[in-house]
Chains A and B, each alone.
Chain A
């Protein structure tokens, strides 16, 4: 491209060189800037104006009036939620759920990828891979609907099996606080394991075959090869994935929690995002819930930025 514009400048002659150069770049590139026009307007209206809308956390909202509030209130809404025990419950629930989910659903895809890699029948491997990442494309509504059907106390297959085999009374799994976290985590496992494993599989397949051949000559068995070749080779991928997950720690499946909601399980299931939804959209306390949302957003931002810093210094890889 540079060559193209230089050629034109030369054609324009020595006298007009400067003028042509300027007109050349503006004239040439206006189309590129023109292409950006609508997307940039989109970003301003639908990303940056709402971002500015966070100012509502410091301002009073009157129904029907400006979405940016009507008068300054200072930190009143922040003081309010910091004194609200149901906020702290949601805060604690968020961290417990996020961390247990991270531990389980970060490890399983790695193990799954390693096991999948051990399959020698290529066709079988392909089928397993294709089928296991299909759930990623199924709507959360469908996942939770199927879950409640399978676990239904009246007609669900799990309760029928428990009754037939052990003579147990039906358990209303979806309405028992102690099962909520397990159900949340296991549906995540079901939905995303195959999908996440694709990244590790790609890393595994890019390992040089000679390493394994050399190890086999040295008499290393399959486990030793996995332990000393495969795992160290994909360690940087694992690190990057872990740091990314840490950064998005609070980005829990908000829709899923909302769909699983029953009054009884809300003691463990209410997370920051559902708290914001309930206080904001159900009870219409816009300023108050914006303050909570902003708090969650800032915590999330700090997590992403610091995770990225750590990643940069440890692995040289970064998200941006």
Chain B
């Protein structure tokens, strides 16, 4: 291979540039980490850039003493675990019959599913229906409306559709029921797709703050991201929902905010390296098509 001088120069620049992007992606987390373990004085004096100055744990102690922090954290774990579980049950049991393109009525159902991706109730009708159903301020408002994501459903359906049909045919000849096939054959074979969509779903539930804000009125049921958002906006109650006065935002120390950021993001940062291979497969698994 003959590589020109200019290409070598480009390559060097490229390697450095990519390294720079790496830093840009990671630095915000590193900075938050450094702030959260520094003393308030060091932060206010503007000494913290990369690593903790005057290392101390007071920030985390203060956050843990917030009465609602652990409640909110526990709520988020609950919403994530139960929400993902309900989602998976619904999506698996829907994706399997939808993957049978020859099934009578399947195409009509599929058309309804796809149409609802492009046109929806919108914010207000959804909100009013949820409160009309009496779900407001109950955990169900956080779990049920989001049970099926059409996008994830289609990923799973395409995966099931592309499984070799011969195993299923053999099972049918052996007299196995469709329930049995789904549980004993389809689910084990679809593990990569199920792993992917459960991760997407779990991340959705973990990251939500907006639906927590509009559907929950008691702080006892707030998800942790809403707790973080309230710390950030300096509002501890729901009253200032539209984003409170910007002046308030400086009244809570930067250390506290960064500590809360680290605590709410840490599960994703820790789990990410282990899970990221599934995220990629999710993107390459079947395109969004009916």
Min CB gap A184→B, angstroms: 15
- Decide if B25 touches A131 in the complex (CB within 8 Å): yes
Interface residues on B, range: 35 or more
Q: Are B289 and A320 in contact (CB under 8 A)?
A: yes
Q: Does B69 contact A (CB under 8 A)?
A: no
Q: Which segment, of A13-21, A27-35, A86-94, A99-107, faces chain B?
A: A27-35
- Chain A residues, Cβ within 8 Å of B11: 118, 120
Cα separation A305 to B1 with both chains bound (whole Å): 48
Is B258's CB within 8 Å of the partner chain A?
yes
Is A310 located at the chain interface by the 8 A CB criterion?
no
Residues A3 and B97 in contact in the complex (CB < 8 Å), given A38-B90, A39-B148, A297-B122: no
Tell me whether A72 is interfacial, beta carbon within 8 Å.
no
With CB as the reference atom, state the residue of chain B lying closest to A156: B254
Contact A300 B118 (CB under 8 A): yes
CB contact between A67 and one of B122, B129, B147 (< 8 Å): that residue: B129
Instruction: Name the CB-closest residue of B to A295.
Output: B122
Chain A residues contacting B283 (CB-CB under 8 Å) are 198-199, 202
B138 at the interface (CB under 8 A from A): no
| B32 lies within 8 A of A146 (CB) | yes
Asked whether A134 lies within 8 Å of B272 as measured between CB atoms, the reply is yes
Q: Is B78 an interface residue (CB 8 A)?
A: no
The answer, yes or no, to whether B221 is at the interface (CB within 8 Å) is no
Contacts of A301 in B (CB 8 A): 118-119
Please give me the residue from chain A that is nearest to B91 by CB atom. A39
Choose among B177, B207, B250, B280 the residue that contacts A141 (Cβ–Cβ < 8 A): B207
Given A49-B129, A261-B242, the answer on whether A131 and B118 have CB atoms closer than 8 Å is no
Cα distance, A216 to B226, chains bound together (Å): 56
Main secondary structure of the interface of A (DSSP, over half): helix
Instruction: Give 1 or 0 for each of A221-242: 1 = CB within 8 Å of chain B CB.
Output: 1110000000000000000000
Closest Cβ neighbor of A247 among chain B residues:
B118
A141-B232, A152-B254, A155-B43 known; A261 and B114 CB under 8 Å? no
With a cutoff of 8 Å between Cβ atoms, the chain B residues found around residue A116 in the complex are 18
- Given contact pairs A67-B129, A150-B28, A198-B280, A139 touches B123 in the complex (Cβ within 8 A): no
Interface stretch, picked from B51-59, B60-68, B166-174, B188-196, is: B166-174
A50 to B145: give the CA distance in the assembly, Å: 11
In the assembled complex, the CB of A9 is this many whole angstroms from the nearest CB of chain B, namely 14
The verdict on A3 contacting B169 (CB below 8 Å), with A35-B182, A139-B206, A286-B128 known, is yes
Look across to chain A and name the residue whose beta carbon is closest to the beta carbon of B253: A155
Mark B99-139 against chain A: 1 for CB-CB distance below 8 A, else 0: 01011110001001110101111111111110111000000
In the complex, the answer to whether B232 meets A148 with C-beta atoms within 8 Å is: yes
Interfacial chain B residues near A97, Cβ < 8 Å: none
Say yes or no: B109 contacts A132, CB within 8 Å. no
Query: Which residue from B128, B264, B284 sits with its C-beta under 8 Å from A142?
Result: B264
Which of chain A's residues have a CB closer than 8 A to the CB of B114? 320
> From residue 119 to 168 of chain A, which have CB atoms closer than 8 A to chain B?
119-121, 124, 127-128, 130-135, 137-142, 144-150, 152-155, 157, 160
B203 at the interface (CB under 8 A from A): yes
Q: How far is the CA of A318 from the CA of B113 in the complex (A)?
A: 16
Taking Cβ atoms with an 8 Å cutoff, the residues of A that contact B are 1-4, 7, 28-29, 31-33, 35-36, 38-40, 42-43, 45-54, 56, 61, 66-67, 112, 115-116, 118-121, 124, 127-128, 130-135, 137-142, 144-150, 152-155, 157, 160, 172, 174-175, 190, 194, 198-199, 202, 216, 221-223, 255, 258-264, 273, 276-278, 280-282, 286, 289-290, 293-294, 296-298, 300-301, 304-305, 318-320
Q: Which residues of B approach A to under 8 Å, CB–CB?
A: 1, 3-4, 7, 10-11, 14-15, 17-18, 21-22, 24-26, 28-29, 31-32, 35, 43-44, 46, 49, 90-91, 93-94, 96-98, 100, 102-105, 109, 112-114, 116, 118-129, 131-133, 144-145, 147-148, 165, 168-169, 172-173, 177-179, 182, 203, 206-210, 214, 225-226, 228-229, 232, 241-243, 245-246, 249-250, 254, 257-258, 260-261, 264-265, 268-269, 272-273, 276, 279-280, 283-284, 288-290
